[in-house]
Copies of this chain bind each other. A is one copy, B any other.
């Protein structure tokens, strides 16, 4: 697998107190790599999560959804190579057995174990491999780094994706670190994307949930690779509380803002990395929509542009084809007035007042589009609504990967 030209190096992530990681090889596919990851979390760890809105979710997603309300987590297991989605009772039973086994090993109630699987849809998780794998990964706790875990949760990813940020909360320095896997089937609602964020901060579960939901809206749910949404999307945040500061319990708790900012930064960086590993991607595209009726409308328009195959192929070809941007604005269905519309590529305004800017300078536009980071700005000129989303271009690489990858 060729590494994405938009790849970023994995950051240095220190240990986080209360988090221990182990990996093992269950051989969900005929490979030698680690494909089961176990994370043990200290007693008292709180948890929050955002899950796929797919109407056909995997049993793992259902387990997380059922366990989230009680707010406590002691363990996480992640399987790579088999999503266990659409596998009926057989798949459900296998996942439950794995979760029960991990609960037994950790010594906690089963509803404090969280689980995610990613990979092929429709092949039941092999129960024996899953149980042996989770047992082996638990036995290896403490031996794996965040980077090793990231490799073990990946599937079609071409590079390991992690992010880290710090915040001062009540005088204490806390760490927020996250890892993510995902490359295709990425759309808002997170597609085949698994993201896990860990912090030593002390955060009450309801507040953590609210902060994660907000951070996700502006990160994982503001990206799209191919508009497709998976059956297994999962983002979980775990707070071990080992930093020992006064607990964050409300948005106005001292330090809550700083912690939320760090959490949002990590989520945004992870989301960007997923786009940077978008299947076949050669350009990282930022789309800003301003002047919309409201923020919701702005996001609909921005995603219409970001999901347009014609816009994405134009960028792949280095073509400042603002006509296709007009098309995507028009089809979004939100309020727009053609004659107030303005479009920028990079810092150059190419269209305004319903037509091309006469004699705009093409040189900086061409230079901007030749780079690996492309910015498209659209001002609708009718209100204060704004949104920013990120996507990648659509290339031959995407076709090659997806016309061959077999279930």
Contact across chains for B351 and A122 when beta carbons are under 8 A apart? yes
Contact across chains for B86 and A351 when beta carbons are under 8 A apart? yes
Interface status of A120 (Cβ within 8 A of chain B):
yes
Interface status of A348 (Cβ within 8 A of chain B):
no
Query: In the docked arrangement, what's the CA distance between A227 and B90, Å?
Result: 36
Query: In the docked arrangement, what's the CA distance between A185 and B324, Å?
Result: 9
Whose C-beta in chain B lies nearest to the C-beta of A308?
Answer: B228
Give the contacts of A280-306 with B (CB-CB under 8 A): none
Interface centre among A319, A321, A355 (most CB of B within 10 A): A355
Contact among B86, B123, B319, B398 for A309, CB-based, below 8 A: B398
Contact among B56, B87, B336, B398 for A55, CB-based, below 8 A: B336
A324 CB → nearest B CB, Å: 7
Whose C-beta in chain B lies nearest to the C-beta of A323?
Answer: B121
Contact across chains for A327 and B229 when beta carbons are under 8 A apart? yes
Interface status of A335 (Cβ within 8 A of chain B):
yes
Query: In the docked arrangement, what's the CA distance between A333 and B87, Å?
Result: 20
Contacts of A55 in B (CB 8 A): 329-338
Query: In the docked arrangement, what's the CA distance between A170 and B284, Å?
Result: 63
Interface centre among A314, A329, A402 (most CB of B within 10 A): A402
Contact across chains for A323 and B355 when beta carbons are under 8 A apart? no
Contact across chains for A310 and B185 when beta carbons are under 8 A apart? yes
Whose C-beta in chain B lies nearest to the C-beta of A395?
Answer: B399
Whose C-beta in chain B lies nearest to the C-beta of A59?
Answer: B338
Contacts of A227 in B (CB 8 A): 227, 307-309
Contact across chains for B313 and A403 when beta carbons are under 8 A apart? yes
Give the contacts of A102-151 with B (CB-CB under 8 A): 120-124
Contact across chains for B407 and A322 when beta carbons are under 8 A apart? yes
Contact across chains for B327 and A230 when beta carbons are under 8 A apart? yes
Top 8 closest pairs, chain A to chain B, by CB? A121-B323, A88-B355, A54-B330, A56-B330, A317-B403, A313-B402, A229-B331, A55-B336
